Structure 1
Amino acid sequence: MRVAVLDDYQQAAHRFADWQGLGADVTFLPEHIADTDTLAETLRGHDVIVAMRERTPFTAERFERLPDLRLLVTTGMANAAIDLAAAHRHGVTVCGTDGAAHATPELTWGLILSLVRHLPAEAAGMREGRWQHTIGGDLGGRTLGVVGLGRLGARVAAIGNAFGMRVLAWSSNLDSGHARGLGAEPVSKHDLFSEADIVTVHYKLSERSTGLIGRRELSWMKPTAYLVNTSRGPLVDTAALVDALREERIAGAGLDVYDVEPLPAGDPLRTAPRTVLTPHIGYVTEETYRIFYRQAVENIAAHRAGTPLRTLTP
């Protein structure tokens, strides 16, 4: 059996699970492969592929180009980049893994604090010999707007309450009673964007939610407000966000996710002002990797035994 582990950027996957126990030929690929021809050539002859989140799309064309593939394991229990119907047609079983629910909410607050207290600028200033050149904002008494109050959004809201913030929530199908039970005020989309000092996005990406936050929503925001996105890049209209930042129509943005990942070197976001950018590390923690890769190995062993675990269906 030949196994390929994709997008192992930190070259760390090997130490989070007992890959040797599979008795398989396991290849860890640290570089992202975007080109379909290169991907098909690299993965030729592999029975099993372990994909990291949505980094590498698996389309109908790619399944056609991978005739030896029998098992595709994705980290996480949902992956919008995998055509499950095409996988089924090509006889490929798709399995997922659990994850650590606290990891992304924790990074969300790291971005929020970095923006509000100007931490990157002050840290850089210290290395350059400077001392106190910005004035930070406050969280206590301010308003947090949570777009999407699911598992991750609820954790972010709870921390907002702990900071003494007023917490607003909106989603297209928000349960008002559930929101109030979590300490959040259910409001309209307009009211959330116009009243929040910080808007943080925790929404599932789909055809309907692509571009959920565009020029209209950004125009509703106060010029002193910040936008934070640790969910998925396409939820926000990137061109509109860059314009809002350059025209100083919002105070800043903290981003961990992008339309194209890894983010191209020449992408306008890399030079946009008043931003804190991280390379999609919301899920990149020791505990998350331990769960991802151990369960990936479990999935491979179970599939070989004819009893697949955590299967994903169209």
Structure 2
Amino acid sequence: MKTCVVLDDYQDAALQSADWSRIADRVSVSTVREFLANEDAVVERIGDAEIVCIMRERTPFPASLLDRLPKLKLIVTSGMRNAAIDLAAAQKNGVTVSGTATSGSPPLELTWGLILGLARQIAVENAGFRANGPWQSSVGVDLNGRQLGIIGLGKIGTQMAKVAGAFGMKVVAWSPNLTDERAAAAGVERAASKEALLETSDFVSLHLVLAPSTRGLIGEQELRRMKPEAFLINTARAPIVDQAALIRALEEKWIAGAGLDVFETEPLPAGHPFRTLGNVLATPHLGYVSQNNYRTFFGEGIEDIEAWLDGAPIRTLV
């Protein structure tokens, strides 16, 4: 009997999202709801488990951790890309890494939730409503006629543009390799430069993969180029934006506000400025957290485990 540990099951959803009985006679499965803050805690909790299921990048698996888990033989990750796993170290240690499909719809939907929440001050008005505060305290920002600047016109960015059109927004896009042809195919205008997009957009939404070329792409100079009434939305990866510069921009009102779902340290420490700044609307990295995505991840994760047990791993990253 093999042992499988499902890490970071914050919502206690793993065992309800798929039929684990399919492998019950071959694998003993347990879940961990709490966040494991360091490698010692991970090693202690995983123990001699041969299989680990991880959700995106919640728990990193660098070489230093993999070297301490000699019994580990299979990592199943949601998605087919996980920058938090040292794939070379996994291969060196004889660990197979398998992935699953994911949908871009949940992050897309959450991004629009943040945009609408910022534009109409939904969290502020709801808090006042519940506290018997003033009846109406804000004046909403219209989306119709405003410009959405999309940085990163991939699958999610392209869908963002379609939704923006339904709201009557003008859409411009920029990324380092974006061509006029790709922009036209998505029905958007290619910005002449990143700077031009930032200077003219009312909402700027980031949809890039984190890479050396995109780390710190939005820093102090870029934030100062934005309109003081503009909003920045980041549901991609936190390090794409210089976090210290963003905090200062929000504190000093260089921009009107930010919608954030990703952070350099997760869970975000208590007392962090993003938890208290009044012009931040934030969610705890919920972009991909949806019923359908969980069903896909855990369902295909079980398939990955079955295939590995049968000696023919599928959807392998290593």
Give the TM-score taking structure 2 as reference length: 0.97
Deviation at 1:193, TM superposition (A): 0.5
**Alignment partner, residue 202 of structure 1:** 207
Q: For the aligned residues, what is the CA RMSD? A: 0.9
Deviation at 1:183, TM superposition (A): 1.4
**Alignment partner, residue 169 of structure 2:** 165
Are residues 1:283 and 2:288 paired?
A: yes
**Alignment partner, residue 185 of structure 1:** 189
- In the alignment, the residues of structure 1 paired with residue 187 and residue 230 of structure 2 have an alpha-carbon distance, to the nearest angstrom, of 21
69, 82, 89: which one aligns with 1:86: 89
1:161–1:183: 8 Å Cα contact kept in structure 2?
no
**Alignment partner, residue 126 of structure 2:** 123
- In the alignment, the residues of structure 1 paired with residue 108 and residue 304 of structure 2 have an alpha-carbon distance, to the nearest angstrom, of 27
**Alignment partner, residue 140 of structure 2:** 136
289, 307, 310: which one aligns with 1:302: 307
Deviation at 1:189, TM superposition (A): 0.3
**Alignment partner, residue 13 of structure 2:** 12
Deviation at 1:259, TM superposition (A): 0.4
**Alignment partner, residue 61 of structure 1:** 64
Q: Name stretches of at least 5 consecutive residues in structure 1 with no aligned partner.
A: none
Deviation at 1:207, TM superposition (A): 2.2
Using the TM superposition, name which of 178-187 and 140-149 deviates more. Answer: 178-187
**1:267-299: CA deviation from partner (whole Å, max 9, x where unpaired):** 221112311010011111111100010000110
1:47–1:71: 8 Å Cα contact kept in structure 2?
yes
Are residues 1:214 and 2:219 paired?
A: yes
Q: Name stretches of at least 5 consecutive residues in structure 2 with no aligned partner.
A: none
- After superposition, residues 79-118 of structure 1 pair within 5 angstroms as 79-118=82-121
**Alignment partner, residue 263 of structure 2:** 258
Give the TM-score taking structure 1 as reference length: 0.98
Deviation at 1:305, TM superposition (A): 0.5
30, 33, 37: which one aligns with 1:30: 33
SS in structure 1 of the partner of residue 173 of structure 2: strand
Deviation at 1:266, TM superposition (A): 2.2
Q: Return the letter of the residue paired with 1:149.
A: L
Deviation at 1:214, TM superposition (A): 0.7
Q: Return the letter of the residue paired with 1:78.
A: R
- In the alignment, the residues of structure 2 paired with residue 52 and residue 189 of structure 1 have an alpha-carbon distance, to the nearest angstrom, of 32
Deviation at 1:128, TM superposition (A): 2.0
Identity percentage of aligned residues: 49
**1:12-61: CA deviation from partner (whole Å, max 9, x where unpaired):** 11001111221211110001112111111211200000011011111111
- In the alignment, the residues of structure 2 paired with residue 295 and residue 72 of structure 1 have an alpha-carbon distance, to the nearest angstrom, of 13
1:147–1:201: 8 Å Cα contact kept in structure 2?
yes
- In the alignment, the residues of structure 2 paired with residue 186 and residue 254 of structure 1 have an alpha-carbon distance, to the nearest angstrom, of 23
Are residues 1:73 and 2:114 paired?
A: no
Are residues 1:40 and 2:43 paired?
A: yes
Are residues 1:224 and 2:229 paired?
A: yes
- In the alignment, the residues of structure 1 paired with residue 7 and residue 259 of structure 2 have an alpha-carbon distance, to the nearest angstrom, of 27
Q: How many residues align?
A: 313
Are residues 1:312 and 2:301 paired?
A: no
1:97–1:296: 8 Å Cα contact kept in structure 2?
yes
Divergent runs of 4+, >3 A: none
- In the alignment, the residues of structure 2 paired with residue 308 and residue 36 of structure 1 have an alpha-carbon distance, to the nearest angstrom, of 27
- In the alignment, the residues of structure 2 paired with residue 67 and residue 18 of structure 1 have an alpha-carbon distance, to the nearest angstrom, of 28
- In the alignment, the residues of structure 1 paired with residue 281 and residue 54 of structure 2 have an alpha-carbon distance, to the nearest angstrom, of 27
- In the alignment, the residues of structure 1 paired with residue 89 and residue 176 of structure 2 have an alpha-carbon distance, to the nearest angstrom, of 29
Q: Return the letter of the residue paired with 2:157.
A: G
